[in-house]
């Protein structure tokens, strides 16, 4: 199931492996770029249904359709997928464990309990606790929705005078937020594959500007893979493994973010999601390491369904990086980006995107920095960041 247009490689691979694959999406994506040629069933539903209505929809289909596994292709579908599994008594991540990969308060609490370093944080419940938190930590602070993704809805707060009007506006929804100390620094992410509770593949990467900055202030989103033996990658890997163990991921893919603090140089855990990283990160990983996380996720799910072992395919040890931005042009002309390392140009209206690959990490880094600066002049457009996601 997916309320966003994504995961096509997963659907194709699951079908190739012999599964009868049905897709449930929303009505407005009925004509999306779905691989309908491999789908046994294609269902749509109105946007904005309640969980109970989605439950009724799926169980109605189940009167005539055998359902053995439910997979949420997008982060915003994880919770309803967990509810459906529990209601239908199907294997997979239950609601409690899903919270560790959806609820920022739950994942921080669990990681901190396991000894993982996280920015100081507090629940948004008792107002006196918020006053105490702001008194003993140094601002500014971030007010974060507990279950949004991609930096949506995050607000930077500089003083208590700024906080209270925001909370008044949120009303009864304020308990769905947390507050944490803003930690300036360099932001990293690691893409992972876990099997039987063991992290068997990871790809540490480094963002250019922090995603929160590009989401809220515009600019070019960039990321690139790191050499596994680099100091940054080793530091990220250590925290990455501790985080996934603390969050009890048994099997699946993950996208986890970290920050190396400017003040003390230590790596702090930010958040983790039990999904494939967005913004074409899967393409970056495929070009650098030779495997597509979507495809491997399908192979892993099918192996679990059949009671078989899963093994990683052979890996490549190249490097790759991406540059993506909103574009002023409907169809940006990327022909001037013609270095031999250019391996993919993204085709999407009002978006400019290029992915490069090389045997040299330094060459990828140089191209990402150069192209990122050129994108600002050639294409980059900005628009206000939404507080809520839209398909």
Report domain extents, the chain. Answer: 8-99, 120-181, 185-378
pLDDT above 90: residue 171 = yes
Give the pair of three-digit tokens for residue 351.
């978006």
Question: How many Cα atoms occupy the beta-carbon half-sphere of 313 within 13 Å?
Answer: 12
What is the CATH code of the structural domain delimited by 120-181? 3.30.1490.20
Lowest mean pLDDT among 115-129, 139-153, 194-208, 302-316: 139-153
Give the pair of three-digit tokens for residue 274.
């039990």
* 279-295: pLDDT as tens digits: 999 999 999 999 999 99
Give backbone dihedrals phi and psi of 290, rounded to 5 degrees, phi first: 85, 5
Give the separation between CA 112 and CA 180, rounded to whole angstroms. 13
* 94-108: pLDDT as tens digits: 999 999 999 999 999
What is the CATH code of the structural domain delimited by 185-378? 3.30.470.20
* 193, 312 Cβ separation under 8 angstroms: yes
Give backbone dihedrals phi and psi of 332, rounded to 5 degrees, phi first: -60, 140
* Predicted local distance difference test score (pLDDT) of residue 118: 98
Lowest mean pLDDT among 156-170, 232-246, 376-390: 376-390
* 276, 283 Cβ separation under 8 angstroms: no
pLDDT above 80: residue 390 = no
What is the CATH code of the structural domain delimited by 8-99? 3.40.50.20
Which pTM does this prediction carry? Answer: 0.94
* 336-371: pLDDT as tens digits: 999 999 999 998 999 999 999 999 999 999 999 999
Report the phi/psi class of residue 350: left, alpha or beta, with left for phi > 0 and alpha for psi in -120 to 50. Answer: left
Give the separation between CA 226 and CA 359, rounded to whole angstroms. 12
Cβ-in-10-Å burial (0-12, 13-18, 19+) of 80 comes to buried
* Predicted local distance difference test score (pLDDT) of residue 148: 79
Give the pair of three-digit tokens for residue 361.
């990490």
* 180, 270 Cβ separation under 8 angstroms: no
* 363-381: pLDDT as tens digits: 999 999 999 999 999 999 9
Closest CA relative to residue 322, chosen from 200, 194, 191: 191
Closest CA relative to residue 194, chosen from 253, 276, 241: 253
pLDDT confidence bin for 153, thresholds 50/70/90: confident
* Predicted local distance difference test score (pLDDT) of residue 151: 64
* Predicted local distance difference test score (pLDDT) of residue 388: 54
* Predicted local distance difference test score (pLDDT) of residue 214: 67
> What is the Cα Rg of the chain in Å?
21
* Predicted local distance difference test score (pLDDT) of residue 209: 83
The 10 Å CB-count burial string (b at 16+, else e) for 122-150 is bebeeeeebeebbeebeeebbbbbbbbbb
* 179, 122 Cβ separation under 8 angstroms: yes
* 276, 8 Cβ separation under 8 angstroms: no
Closest CA relative to residue 140, chosen from 178, 168, 180: 180
* Predicted local distance difference test score (pLDDT) of residue 216: 52
Give the pair of three-digit tokens for residue 314.
């052979």
* 350, 326 Cβ separation under 8 angstroms: yes
pLDDT mean over 39-56: 97
* Predicted local distance difference test score (pLDDT) of residue 389: 52
* 211-246: pLDDT as tens digits: 776 665 578 999 999 999 999 999 999 999 999 999
pLDDT confidence bin for 180, thresholds 50/70/90: very high
* Predicted local distance difference test score (pLDDT) of residue 229: 96
pLDDT mean over 72-94: 96
* 247, 123 Cβ separation under 8 angstroms: no
Give backbone dihedrals phi and psi of 367, rounded to 5 degrees, phi first: -65, -40
* Predicted local distance difference test score (pLDDT) of residue 210: 73
Give the separation between CA 55 and CA 217, rounded to whole angstroms. 38
- Who contacts 377 (Cβ-Cβ below 8 Å, separation ≥6)? none
More confident: 235 or 385? 235
Quote the mean pLDDT of the chain: 95
Give backbone dihedrals phi and psi of 23, rounded to 5 degrees, phi first: -115, 130
């Amino acid at each position: 199931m997916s309320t966003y247009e994504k995961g096509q490689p997963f659907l194709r691979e699951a079908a190739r492996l012999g599964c009868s694959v049905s897709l449930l999406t929303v009505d407005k994506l009925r004509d999306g770029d779905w691989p309908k040629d491999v789908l046994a069933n294609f269902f749509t539903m109105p946007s904005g249904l309640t969980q109970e209505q989605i439950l009724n929809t799926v169980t109605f289909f189940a009167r005539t359709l055998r359902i053995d596994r439910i997979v949420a292709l997008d982060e915003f579908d994880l919770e309803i997928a967990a509810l459906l599994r529990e209601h239908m008594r199907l294997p997979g991540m239950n609601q409690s464990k899903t919270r560790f990969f959806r609820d920022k308060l739950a994942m921080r609490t669990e990681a901190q309990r396991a000894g993982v370093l996280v920015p100081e944080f507090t629940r948004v419940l008792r107002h006196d606790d918020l006053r105490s938190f702001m008194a003993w930590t140094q601002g500014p602070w971030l007010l974060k929705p507990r279950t949004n993704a991609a930096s949506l809805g995050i607000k930077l707060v500089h003083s208590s005078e700024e906080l209270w009007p925001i909370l008044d506006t949120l009303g009864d929804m304020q308990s769905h937020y947390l507050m944490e100390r803003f930690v300036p620094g360099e932001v990293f992410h690691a893409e992972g594959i876990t099997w039987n509770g063991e992290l068997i593949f990871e790809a540490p990467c480094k963002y250019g500007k922090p995603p929160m900055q590009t989401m809220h202030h515009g600019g070019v989103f960039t990321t690139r893979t790191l050499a596994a033996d680099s100091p940054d990658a080793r530091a990220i890997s250590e925290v990455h493994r501790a985080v996934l163990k603390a969050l009890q991921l048994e099997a699946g893919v993950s996208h986890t973010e970290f920050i190396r603090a400017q003040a003390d140089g230590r790596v702090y855990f930010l958040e983790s999601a039990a999904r494939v990283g967005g913004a074409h990160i899967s393409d970056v990983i495929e070009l650098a390491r030779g495997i597509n996380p979507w495809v491997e996720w399908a192979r892993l799910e099918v192996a679990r369904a059949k009671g078989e072992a899963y093994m990683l395919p052979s890996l490549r040890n190249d490097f790759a990086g991406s540059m993506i931005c909103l574009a002023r042009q409907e169809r940006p002309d990327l022909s001037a980006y013609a270095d031999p390392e250019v391996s993919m140009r993204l085709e999407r209206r009002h978006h400019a995107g290029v992915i490069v690959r090389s045997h040299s990490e330094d060459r990828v880094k140089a191209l990402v920095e150069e192209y990122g600066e050129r994108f600002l002049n050639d294409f980059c457009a900005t628009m206000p960041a939404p507080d809520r996601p839209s398909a």
